[in-house]
Amino acid sequence: MSFISILSEPAILIITAFFVFFLATVIRNYKKTENRLKSVYEFLVSLNKKEISYRFQQLDEFMRENSYTNTCWEDFKKALIFPEKLYTASQQTKSGSNYTPEIYLTVDSSFFFNEDSLVHSKINYKFIQAMPTLLTGLGPFFTFLKMAIAFTEVDLSSNATGNSLNGLVANIQVAALCSVFAVGYSLLFMFFEKILYNRKCKKYYLLIQKELIRLFDVCTSEQFLLDLVKESKIQGVTNEKILKSLPDDFAKAVSKSIGEITTPYLENILYSLNKLNESMDKNSGGDVVDKLF
């Protein structure tokens, strides 16, 4: 029996058709997922961490419009903290700059953006996982069906016994090949499916997780509360120092302002009195008091 004649058997053709259909379904779904996730990744790459607070609305609109990220993005936003600015003593010692990200993430991004939320829930992944089992199951099904048909065609009469046995053996051979092809197609399907999944799906949802970690600093709720306590203590000490120094500073400021304002006026008055005295001396011919003695 030639290979072409084996492939032309109806049972093997049906198994082959199922294999091609399943593989085409996987390629189509994974390609669609790749395009959607790739667009998200490219948009995240275009964002700058220092500008994320100003472009957050743009990011929010993009994520909500994408059908692959709209659900998990809404949950992700609930884990974000939006303080105006939070400068803590620990962060200032760790970094010499004054820049502190304005948006914090309290839960790791992989909790929201993972293979379950970005891939499995979008492509009916359970059905894809069942495809190898279905292919394997077609093998025994057609094997026993072919054997049952072969036994019904056996003619035990003396004239046709030889031909019947030859036909039975050929049908049993085809029946066995049905299981072989089914198992082989199942193994090939699992091999190609894993490669396609890693290249088209897993690659991009891992990159999305990485970019979100780059854009948002992770700060747990406990750490955030600790930072608030530290900041409140720093503000309390600063306010206490200001209140203690306020009377002295106020007195110094008042005395300084009075001195700066009154001194020029007094100098002008003294200068005017001196001029007036000189003019009176000239008009009277000298000091009146001196003439009396």
Distance CA 76, CA 40 (A): 15
Least confident stretch, 91-95, 120-124, 152-156? 91-95
| pLDDT, tens digit, 9 for 90 and up, residues 71-114 | 899 888 888 877 654 444 344 444 444 545 568 787 888 889 98
Output b/e per residue, 77-89; b: 16+ Cβ within 10 A. Answer: eebeeeeeebebe
Contacting residues for 291 by C-beta, under 8 A, at least 6 apart: none
What's the start-to-end Cα distance of the chain, in Å?
Answer: 160
Residue among 104, 98, 120 at smallest CA distance from 205: 120
Cβ(76)–Cβ(113) below 8 Å:
yes
Query: For the residues 62-75, what does the mean pLDDT come to?
Result: 90
| pLDDT, tens digit, 9 for 90 and up, residues 200-252 | 999 999 999 999 988 888 776 666 666 667 777 787 777 777 777 777 776 77
Three-class DSSP category at 217 = strand
CA-angle at 200, arms to 194 and 201, nearest 5° = 80
Cβ(132)–Cβ(18) below 8 Å:
no
User: For the purposes of burial, counting CB atoms within 10 Å of the CB of 285, is it exposed (0-12), middle (13-18) or buried (19 or more)?
Assistant: exposed
